[in-house]
């Protein structure tokens, strides 16, 4: 199979778009992790901090999945 020639400006545009998307995703992951540790202390028992953190991560993950499913179906 032969590789198709892609113009340099098109390749540059794709790389920049992928890089920006990756930066936004990592920033979102950082905010999520920081917020999860704060919410774990506020909403769950303090006697089991690891269980509280894991519960917060599970709830946030399910909520994000449902929200992304609803927004993509519109």
pLDDT digits (tens, 9 = 90+) for 10-41: 999 999 999 999 999 899 888 888 888 888 88
Asked whether residue 55 carries a pLDDT value surpassing 90, the answer given is no
* Coil/strand/helix, residue 32: helix
d(CA 62, CA 16): 30
Domains of the chain by residue range: 8-72
Instruction: State the burial class of residue 2 (Cβ atoms within 10 Å of its Cβ: 0-12, 13-18, 19+).
Output: exposed
- Residue 34 exposure: Cα atoms within 13 Å on the Cβ side: 6
Prediction pTM value: 0.58
């Amino acid at each position: 199979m032969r590789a198709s020639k892609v113009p340099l400006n098109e390749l540059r545009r794709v790389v920049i778009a992928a890089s920006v998307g990756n930066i936004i995703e990592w920033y979102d992951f950082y905010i999520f992790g920081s917020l999860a540790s704060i919410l774990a202390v506020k909403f769950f028992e303090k006697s089991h901090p690891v269980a509280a953190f894991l519960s917060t991560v599970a709830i946030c993950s399910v909520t994000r999945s449902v929200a992304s499913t609803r927004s993509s179906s519109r």
